[in-house]
Each structure stands twice: as structure tokens, then as C-alpha cells.
């Protein structure tokens, strides 16, 4: 017979009540943010057979690799130390087991940035997609086997598209169409470069991610009045809203996505207050 304490522990481990209160629907990605007892936040994703819970910062599973935030940070530090100790020696290389650890970690970030997108937390989606693009660059540069490089890099068009959508969508919502178009053009150029790197330029029309971004760009150009598409200098003194928009664009350019989120909130509040005056 179990001890009372053990019974209580079993009850605490049972998530049936949570699942029954949040029925699974296979027609949509079911994501929510919950508040923890310490006032923090976690992301929960409803799966057919249960739940997935993730941290908002660091590794989604909340784990660390020794003193490092992630396997990517760990191997980047190893690479830097190796190059300093062997400036003229054998280059640093990632072995297949190293790449497998990085791949599993990258999948965690994939689940989280998709969740951020679903929640409308675009800046955090941009942060995590940028992180995985850096991961692809790192593996492409240092993996010993070409098959490992391709294993990661095959996802570059998709992640580039998601990052572009995450960065540009808040700009579109704020009606900063010129800035949004610059972001979209940069994403389009990135995918074209990927196709060129792999000798696939003639397959551009079959790249769904590229087609999506080009269609979005064309729609914005058609819908935006000419004066909003042109980058002109306003003769009036710069307004607080204009200053915030410039700061937002700078934050996006520098990949300071948490700052960008705060600036976007300030712009929305300023626009809202102006509309009620």
C-alpha cells in the first residue's frame, strides 16, 4: 500500500484534469501561455496525447549544457577556444554526434517559434528563427560531413520565411509599409542566395517559401498608397510616433527583438491615445 505522501504525489503528477479542461483539436495548433506560481510565464502546447511545456527564454526545455545556455553556445565556445589554440592547425570540426545534439536542440526552438507565431508574439518568433539560422550557419561552416550540413540547411528557406514574416508583420500592423517591404526584400534575397549556393536557381518558381514572400511583397506594393511606399522626408517636425517607428526599425535591424516588442507596444498605445483625442 502506498504512503499518503506518495498518493498525493501521484495525484499531482496526473494531468487528466488539465487535458479534459483543454480538449484536443487536430484542426489547429493549440497554444497558450500560463502563469506560474513565481509570476513567470510558460508556453503550453496541447498534443493529441498530452501537453508540451516550454520556457520563454533560453532552451525551451529549461536545461543548460554545463555553464552554457545551449549546445550551440557550448560548441561555439569550443570552436573559439580551438581556433585560438591552433591558429595554423587543423580546423575545428563538428562530428555527427555533435550535429545530432544540435539538431535535437534546434527542433526544440522550432516548436517554440511556431508557438510564438501562433500567439502573435512576433518579436520572440523572430528571435528564435534568427537563432536557428545562426545554428545552420555554424553547422554549415564546421560540420565534418556534408550530409550533416544539408540536414540542417535544407530548412533554411522555411526558417528564413518565418523570420521574415515575424519581423515584417508587426511593421505592417503599424502601417510602416516601407520598413516591412525592406524586411521582405531581405528575406527574398536570402532565399535566392540559398538557391544559388546549391545551384538551384532554376527551381525558384517551385520554392513555396520564396513564392509566398514575393506574393506578400506584391500585395503590399499594390495596396499601399504611393506616398506610403516612397521614402520621403516629411517637411513637418518629426513626431513622437515617427521617432518610435525609427527606433523600432533600428531595433529590428540590430535583432534586439525584446526592445522591438516594447517599442511596438509604445507605438500602439500612442496611436490608441491619439485616436481618442
Domains of the chain: total: 2
Provide the pLDDT for residue 267. Answer: 74
Whether residue 246 sits in one domain with residue 208: no
Instruction: Quote the Cα angle for 110-73-104, to 5°.
Output: 35
Length of the chain measured in residues: 277
Whether residue 163 sits in one domain with residue 228: yes
Provide the pLDDT for residue 61. Answer: 97
What is the C-alpha to C-alpha distance for residues 61 and 108, in angstroms, rounded to an integer? 8
Whether residue 272 sits in one domain with residue 255: yes
User: Which of helix, strand or coil describes residue 42?
Assistant: strand
Provide the pLDDT for residue 235. Answer: 41
- For residue 246, what is its C-alpha cell? 525609427
Whether residue 260 sits in one domain with residue 228: no
The answer to whether residue 270 scores a pLDDT higher than 70 is no
228 contact partners, CB below 8 Å, separation of at least 6: 175, 177, 178
Whether residue 225 sits in one domain with residue 162: yes
* pTM, to two decimals: 0.81
| Percentage of residues of the chain with pLDDT beyond 90 | 67
Evaluate whether residue 277 is within a structural domain.
yes
Provide the pLDDT for residue 72. Answer: 98
Closest CA to 94 of 53, 141, 54, 55: 141
Whether residue 239 sits in one domain with residue 223: no
Whether residue 210 sits in one domain with residue 191: yes
Domain hosting residue 175, numbered range: 156-232
Provide the pLDDT for residue 168. Answer: 95
Provide the pLDDT for residue 256. Answer: 83
pLDDT digits (tens, 9 = 90+) for 141-157: 999 999 999 999 999 99
Evaluate whether residue 270 is within a structural domain.
yes
β-strand partners of 68: 65
Q: Which stretch of 5-14, 83-92, 252-261 has the lowest confidence by average pLDDT?
A: 5-14
pLDDT digits (tens, 9 = 90+) for 210-251: 999 999 999 999 887 654 444 433 444 555 666 777 787 788
What is the C-alpha to C-alpha distance for residues 135 and 105, in angstroms, rounded to an integer? 10
Provide the pLDDT for residue 107. Answer: 94
Mean pLDDT for the stretch of residues 68-94: 94
Whether residue 214 sits in one domain with residue 203: yes
Provide the pLDDT for residue 244. Answer: 75
Provide the pLDDT for residue 223. Answer: 81
Confidence class of residue 92 from pLDDT cuts 50, 70 and 90?
A: very high
Confidence class of residue 272 from pLDDT cuts 50, 70 and 90?
A: low
Provide the pLDDT for residue 233. Answer: 37
Whether residue 225 sits in one domain with residue 186: yes
pLDDT digits (tens, 9 = 90+) for 25-79: 988 889 999 998 888 999 999 999 999 999 999 999 999 999 999 999 999 999 9
| DSSP letter (8 states) at residue 57 | S
Amino acid at each position: 500500500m502506498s504512503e499518503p505522501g506518495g498518493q498525493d504525489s501521484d495525484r499531482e503528477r496526473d494531468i487528466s484534469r488539465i487535458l479534459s479542461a483543454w480538449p484536443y483539436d487536430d484542426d489547429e495548433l493549440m497554444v497558450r501561455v500560463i502563469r506560474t506560481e513565481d509570476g513567470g510565464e510558460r508556453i503550453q502546447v496541447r498534443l493529441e496525447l498530452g501537453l508540451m511545456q516550454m520556457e520563454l527564454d533560453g532552451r525551451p526545455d529549461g536545461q543548460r549544457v554545463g555553464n552554457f545556455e545551449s549546445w550551440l553556445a557550448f560548441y561555439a565556445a569550443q570552436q573559439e577556444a580551438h581556433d585560438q589554440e591552433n591558429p595554423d592547425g587543423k580546423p575545428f570540426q563538428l562530428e555527427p554526434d555533435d550535429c545530432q545534439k544540435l539538431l535535437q536542440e534546434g527542433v526544440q526552438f522550432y516548436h517554440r517559434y511556431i508557438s510564438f507565431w501562433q500567439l502573435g508574439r512576433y518579436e520572440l518568433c523572430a528571435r528564435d528563427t534568427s537563432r536557428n539560422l545562426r545554428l545552420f550557419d555554424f553547422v554549415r561552416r564546421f560540420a565534418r560531413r556534408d550530409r550533416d550540413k544539408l540536414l540542417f540547411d535544407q530548412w533554411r528557406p522555411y526558417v528564413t520565411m518565418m523570420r521574415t514574416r515575424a519581423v515584417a508583420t508587426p511593421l505592417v500592423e503599424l502601417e510602416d509599409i516601407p520598413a516591412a517591404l525592406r524586411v521582405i526584400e531581405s528575406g527574398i534575397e536570402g532565399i535566392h542566395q540559398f538557391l544559388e549556393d546549391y545551384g538551384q536557381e532554376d527551381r525558384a518558381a517551385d520554392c513555396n517559401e520564396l513564392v509566398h514572400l514575393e506574393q506578400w511583397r506584391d500585395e503590399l506594393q499594390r495596396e499601399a498608397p504611393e506616398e506610403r511606399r516612397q521614402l520621403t522626408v516629411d517637411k513637418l517636425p518629426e513626431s513622437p510616433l515617427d521617432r518610435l517607428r525609427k527606433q523600432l526599425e533600428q531595433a529590428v535591424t540590430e535583432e534586439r527583438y525584446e526592445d522591438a516588442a516594447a517599442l511596438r507596444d509604445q507605438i500602439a498605445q500612442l496611436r490608441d491615445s491619439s485616436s481618442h483625442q
